[in-house]
Amino acid sequence: MLGCYASRGFLPCKDPATELQQLGEGQHLLDRVGHALPSLLLEADARQFLERLTVPEWPYANIPPDLLPQARLYYLRLGFIVSGYVNQVGQPPVHRVPVNLARPLCQIAHLLQRPPVLSYDGYALYNWQRYDHSQPVALGNIDTVQNFVHLYDEHWFILVHVEIEAMAAEILDAILGLQGDITPVNVDVALVQISAAMQRIIGVLQRIPEKMSDALYFSRFRPYIGQFVDVLYEGVTQKTISFRGETGAQSSVMPLLTAFMKIPHQANKLTQHLQDMRHYMPAEHRALLQQVAQMPEIRLLSRAEYFDGVLELMAQFREVHYHWAVKYIARRGNDKRGTGGTPYMRWLKFLIDETRQYKLQPPQIAV
């Protein structure tokens, strides 16, 4: 497992499945509906069509290890379909998931140990395929498996995150390589490796505007990854429940670095949001974050320039994120919360400031 993290980061060890093959009769229904979903969601009667689907059940009481890619694809297809149903653009809001969709989604979500809603793992981590399997998981060689809309802007938005996750393998390799061998020299080598990876990651994040319009993002596909507020899962729940929407805050990369660097963010509502986001991560990623959090403190083992260098790059990454949040959300409307329900403007600024304040040689504050 450690070797997989070191080579793939938080992406799946094997390339994601692109077709369902283990569901027996009707197994291709979800694939067909998934491929048609961007067109279907343009129709006023899409919800009526989705309510009539006979969705094949996941046929096992558990998830056999060799069928994990199939289980993830099953969750991905259903997650997109249900989010499309609840958040259909141009139609009145609904607060229910029909039983034919609610039961299979809740079943697979339970087996995957996650909430029954589309999250970052389904939207990005499992949602890619390579054109050329001999080439890296990188922009230009990857495309999405599933989308909400007929716009390459959404493909690009997802695929930028996929390449970032692929690059983050270098970060995991550096951190996990220290286990049981934490010496000043090894810590410095790891921090240099992390810094190099972070520089490349920031470069990719800065490419967001190349192929993604802020107007199209805000109006056409961002609504589909929004929160579920007071939604009844018919045939499953007795009361309405709420879930956070898909958001990059559900990625495990920055929480991993925060745990490794032992950045002491002050406990408040914003850090509670961060902790809540972990419930939407894959169970194995949550376990790894706990494992890294228990690693020894490295702050006084490293050279200040290397330790502070990583902190600075973490702050710069969040600053780029902050800039895109302003461009793609704040300037488009009066929405002060992200798709995950977080007050993103205050949240990102708070994290940036505290990250820089933790440096061994913190910047001087002008009087």
pLDDT of residue 159 exceeding 70: yes
User: What does the pLDDT read at residue 340?
Assistant: 47
Mean pLDDT of 331-343: 58
The C-alpha angle 4, 68, 101, rounded to 5 degrees, equals 140
User: What does the pLDDT read at residue 18?
Assistant: 97
Residue 349: burial class (beta carbons within 10 Å; 0-12, 13-18, 19+): middle
Q: Does a structural domain hold residue 77?
A: yes
What is the C-alpha to C-alpha distance for residues 80 and 210, in angstroms, rounded to an integer? 25
User: What does the pLDDT read at residue 331?
Assistant: 81
Q: Does a structural domain hold residue 367?
A: no
Domain enclosing residue 75, as ranges: 2-357
Q: How confident is residue 364, by pLDDT bands cut at 50, 70 and 90?
A: low
What's the total number of domains in the chain? 1
User: What does the pLDDT read at residue 23?
Assistant: 80
Q: Does a structural domain hold residue 266?
A: yes
Q: Does a structural domain hold residue 120?
A: yes
What is the C-alpha to C-alpha distance for residues 362 and 308, in angstroms, rounded to an integer? 8
Q: Does a structural domain hold residue 366?
A: no
Q: Does a structural domain hold residue 10?
A: yes
Domain containing residue 312: CATH number: 1.20.58.480
> What six digits make up the tokens of 224?
């589909």
pLDDT of residue 334 exceeding 60: no
pLDDT of residue 33 exceeding 50: yes
Q: Distances from the Cα of 185 to the Cαs of 178, 194, 257, in angstroms? A: 11, 14, 19
pLDDT of residue 353 exceeding 60: yes
Q: Does a structural domain hold residue 81?
A: yes
Q: How confident is residue 343, by pLDDT bands cut at 50, 70 and 90?
A: low
pLDDT of residue 25 exceeding 90: no
pLDDT of residue 99 exceeding 90: yes
What is the C-alpha to C-alpha distance for residues 333 and 136, in angstroms, rounded to an integer? 38
Q: How confident is residue 337, by pLDDT bands cut at 50, 70 and 90?
A: low
Q: How confident is residue 365, by pLDDT bands cut at 50, 70 and 90?
A: low
Q: Does a structural domain hold residue 323?
A: yes
